[in-house]
Structure 1
Amino acid sequence: MRGVALAVSVVVRYRKAVTYGVHALLAALETSGVEHELRLGTTPEETAGHITACRADRVLVLWSFYSPDAEAMAAELATVRSLSGGRGLHIAGGVHATAEPQQVIDAGWDLAGIGEGESTIVSLVRALQRDEPLTSVPGLAIKDGDGVALRTRPAPQLPLDAFPSFVHRNGPIEITRGCRYTCRFCQTPFMFGGQFRHRSVASVREHVREMAARGLRDVRFITPTSLSYGSPGPDPDLDKVEELLAGVKEELPANGRVFFGSFPSEVRPEHVTPEAMRLLRRYVANDNLIIGAQSGSDRVLAASGRGHDTSPVRDAVRIAVEHGFRPNVDFIFGMPGEGEEDQAQSLKLASDLAELGARIHTHTFMPLPGTPWRDAEPAFIPLTTRSELDRLAQRGDAYGHWRRQEEHAARLAETAKAYPRRTRRRRTG
């Protein structure tokens, strides 16, 4: 069939938890001009049904998941393979596949996507159409005859303007990728790089125009740190932030709303200043801000590479409340090396912030793959800490799924032991 393009169907195991990343991949594929059929499976059974119904020469099945979901997704993969008679080339992407390609291959996927997926998915579909070797596709891990995950050449990290954030779908607009704050517990800077890459205001405005044309009036953003938009370094560039927000407002109808610094993004505490809050009040509709404190212990904050101590956290909550925002403040309990005194300091700070008007979003440390603390032992969380967290929740001052995250942490620790960091890594070609 040399010279004749093979037909390719793309089936997505479509899950609410990872829609933002999947939409970015599908947008890149749709705007690439590469011919393909697209089907979305919202359950394992529906996904298998799509695979068996496809009449294309090749069927590519896309999976994306976070590290805590890896075990459950492997079980789903086995179900889908069984129901579809083993048809399809299955690829897992996202932060977990990037960090643990060998584990993903061993769990049953044919391929693992490494790093940013836009260039990889376009090249992969094109290679399947042309019947070219998959070793020519950048950003993959492919199982060799010995079962070792071989890596192809890295996929390029392109400017955000190179691809749309989504196409024909409602969703937040990714305005920044990468993060210069290399917190030791966070996967973002270690997958996307330790520098900011910002989407241009012109590109954001184009997205908003398309959204408004479809009757949508609410705009939200994806960014690791909202007030870093437009800045290459640690200090906010409020002129750039205002250019962004003013431009978005100009593209929206009169009843349009802009949400900035609230889910699915956050604000660093040292960026919360009276000037910044006055700027946000002029443009945004949200009445809350997500602020990352992470710990009430200066010692733990320093060990985690957070880049600030506790003093700006108190200031941030006070300033935000004074300007009409309710802060939702993230805390992580059980970080490596954390002792009872550190936890007591976190509980004291959390209680003080609640008195000022904040809500506390409680988390448990998870040793996430790809981070410097992948192999770190979570600290013990004693009954006294647990009881105080429950008391804060009962008062309505705290919320979160820290107990569930504690279970995830235990499973991740077991996986880390099974796959030491020095697992064999070879590159193709």
Structure 2
Amino acid sequence: MDLVIVLRYRKAVTYGLHVLLGALEEHDTPTRYDVRFATTPEATAEEIEAALARAPRVLVLWSFYSPDAEALAAELATIRSKVDSPRVRHVAGGVHATAEPVQTLDAGWDVAAVGEGETTLLALVDAGGDPTGVPGLVYRDATGAVVKTGRPARLPLDTFRGFSLRWQRFNALEITRGCLYSCRFCQTPFMFSARFRHRSVHNVRWHVDQMRAKGLRDVRFITPTALSYGTDGEEPNLAAVEELLATCKEGIGPAGRVFFGSFPSEIRPEHVSREALRLVRKYCANTNIIVGAQSGSDRILDAAKRGHGVEEVKRAARLGIAEGFTINVDMIFGMPGEDPSDVEASLSLARELADLGARIHAHTFMPLPGTPWRDAPPGEVDPATISAVDRLSQRGSLYGHWRKQQDHASRLATAARQYPRPGRSRTLPILADPPGDL
């Protein structure tokens, strides 16, 4: 055995880890390796200790979002206090490591993986765990100097499997990576590039066939904007969407179900049309749809570069409800530059949508690393807004972790002040459960 790979396996980031395993299982490498899963800090320490007795090198793979970085750094310190060795390398990947690699190193990790992780992991395994010269990594050399090996290649999504057959790890299937809508609060377009890369219908069908053969019944998709499947621009390609949904429905069989435009993906409001909604109803099982609104103020939407206005949100909700769907609308409170009139506009929109029968999925603005608004003040929700939001919640018209996100936002802002972004340099952003990140 040359190498043992220990995955710090957390529910919040399983999609991305499964994609890496899917790439690894097809890779021909001279390195003899084993993969172990650790679901707790204690199990991670135990797996590392066992691996040191079996192999000369151990890689511990971590992936996390920015709000989780501080807690996981504390977990890493605990694990190192139990078992540590120069033969062990802790590698952090995902959206936070991509956006803040030096901060990640200073928090205790040995290596930060930047960008898409499939080719990086394969090269790292080929090298027996040695990061020297492997693209997509940031680490410190023996003198303490930061070494950056450059971005890894961005390959077509069909290049790698979307889940792992060898290790029997399945998940919603990533059908689109990257996003041309460069919203200033979102990490996705800045990490994966501001363009779409789609998995082909043929490749999607192969995955669905494998799922059915394994007895799985539900097909879900990971995509930043569901109705952008198959297009290179802003206009939906409904013929491509129908081809995708039809082959998935056929592939999963009469006992299976297809979900589209619901968790873990959403639909942009300007893409909602009767034709699109009827495609979802024809081929899919979901009776709810997630629509991204983010604000009830046209001024704030314009500042955030959302690419749509408030009227498109109202129209989408009305159409969706008329077609028999439950509409869940994402909204962010405490956006940068909000004044009282913007706050009231958002509350007014939330109340109007609730009266129509929609539900509001409430968030508090977080200055996420890698986004243009990284250095913006953390989102704060004033007492009057909290009261209004609570009333909607009591009606059953609003849900979400917006209170917890206020605390996350403050912590992110503190970290950003400790690691100021130099000049006006371009930054890298991040995705919700970022598939393909190491």
TM-score > 0.5, shorter chain as reference: yes
How far 1:378 moved relative to its partner? 3.2
> Match of 1:358, as an amino acid?
A
Residue of structure 2 equivalent to 1:201: 201
Count of aligned pairs:
416
1:14 paired to 2:9 = yes
Alignment of 1:179-328 (within 5 A): 179-328=179-328
Partner-residue secondary structure (3-state), 1:285: coil
Residue of structure 2 equivalent to 1:33: 28
Residue of structure 1 equivalent to 2:329: 329
Deviation readout 1:192-239 (Å, 9 max, x if unpaired): 000000000011000000000001111000000000000000000000
**Could you tell me whether the CA contact under 8 Å between 1:90 and 1:109 is conserved in 2?**
yes
1:46 paired to 2:50 = no
1:157 paired to 2:154 = yes
How far 1:19 moved relative to its partner? 0.5
Partner-residue secondary structure (3-state), 1:242: helix
Deviation readout 1:258-310 (Å, 9 max, x if unpaired): 00000000000000001111111100100100100000000000000111110
Structure 2 CA distance, aligned partners of 1:18 and 1:31? 21
Residue of structure 1 equivalent to 2:138: 141
Residue of structure 2 equivalent to 1:3: none
How far 1:417 moved relative to its partner? 0.3
Deviation readout 1:70-99 (Å, 9 max, x if unpaired): 000101111111212345111000010000
Structure 1 CA distance, aligned partners of 2:376 and 2:252? 47
> Match of 2:49, as an amino acid?
T
Partner-residue secondary structure (3-state), 1:337: coil
**Could you tell me whether the CA contact under 8 Å between 1:205 and 1:247 is conserved in 2?**
yes
Structure 2 CA distance, aligned partners of 1:74 and 1:112? 13
**Could you tell me whether the CA contact under 8 Å between 2:364 and 2:381 is conserved in 1?**
no
Residue of structure 2 equivalent to 1:96: 96
**Could you tell me whether the CA contact under 8 Å between 1:365 and 1:406 is conserved in 2?**
yes
1:167 paired to 2:164 = yes
Structure of greater relative contact order (alpha carbons < 8 Å, 6+ residues apart): 2
Structure 2 CA distance, aligned partners of 1:378 and 1:16? 27
Unaligned runs of 5+ in 2: 426-438
How far 1:146 moved relative to its partner? 5.1
Structure 1 CA distance, aligned partners of 2:113 and 2:262? 30
Residue of structure 2 equivalent to 1:69: 68
> Match of 2:323, as an amino acid?
H
How far 1:339 moved relative to its partner? 1.1
Partner-residue secondary structure (3-state), 2:360: strand
Partner-residue secondary structure (3-state), 1:135: coil
How far 1:10 moved relative to its partner? 0.3
How far 1:358 moved relative to its partner? 0.5
Residue of structure 1 equivalent to 2:84: 85
Alignment of 1:95-134 (within 5 A): 95-128=95-128, 134=131
Deviation readout 1:169-209 (Å, 9 max, x if unpaired): 22100000000000000000010000000000011000000
Structure 1 CA distance, aligned partners of 2:48 and 2:213? 34
Unaligned runs of 5+ in 1: 1-5
**Could you tell me whether the CA contact under 8 Å between 2:296 and 2:342 is conserved in 1?**
yes
Moved more, 51-60 or 365-374: 51-60
Residue of structure 2 equivalent to 1:393: 393
**Could you tell me whether the CA contact under 8 Å between 1:93 and 1:113 is conserved in 2?**
yes
**Could you tell me whether the CA contact under 8 Å between 2:380 and 2:406 is conserved in 1?**
no
Structure 2 CA distance, aligned partners of 1:245 and 1:227? 11
In 2 relative to 1, CA 58–146 (structure 1 residues): closer, same or farther, beyond 3 Å? closer
How far 1:150 moved relative to its partner? 1.9
Structure 2 CA distance, aligned partners of 1:149 and 1:370? 19
Partner-residue secondary structure (3-state), 1:128: coil
Moved more, 373-382 or 170-179: 373-382
> Match of 2:195, as an amino acid?
Q
Structure 2 CA distance, aligned partners of 1:99 and 1:230? 28
> Match of 1:307, as an amino acid?
G
**Could you tell me whether the CA contact under 8 Å between 1:179 and 1:193 is conserved in 2?**
yes
Partner-residue secondary structure (3-state), 1:147: coil
> Match of 1:207, as an amino acid?
H
Structure 1 CA distance, aligned partners of 2:98 and 2:282? 40
Partner-residue secondary structure (3-state), 1:292: strand
Tell me the percent identity.
61
Deviation readout 1:233-265 (Å, 9 max, x if unpaired): 000000000000011112112111000000000
Residue of structure 1 equivalent to 2:347: 347
Partner-residue secondary structure (3-state), 2:164: coil
> Match of 1:12, as an amino acid?
L
> Match of 1:70, as an amino acid?
A
Residue of structure 1 equivalent to 2:55: 56
Partner-residue secondary structure (3-state), 2:132: helix
**Could you tell me whether the CA contact under 8 Å between 1:174 and 1:199 is conserved in 2?**
yes
How far 1:380 moved relative to its partner? 3.9
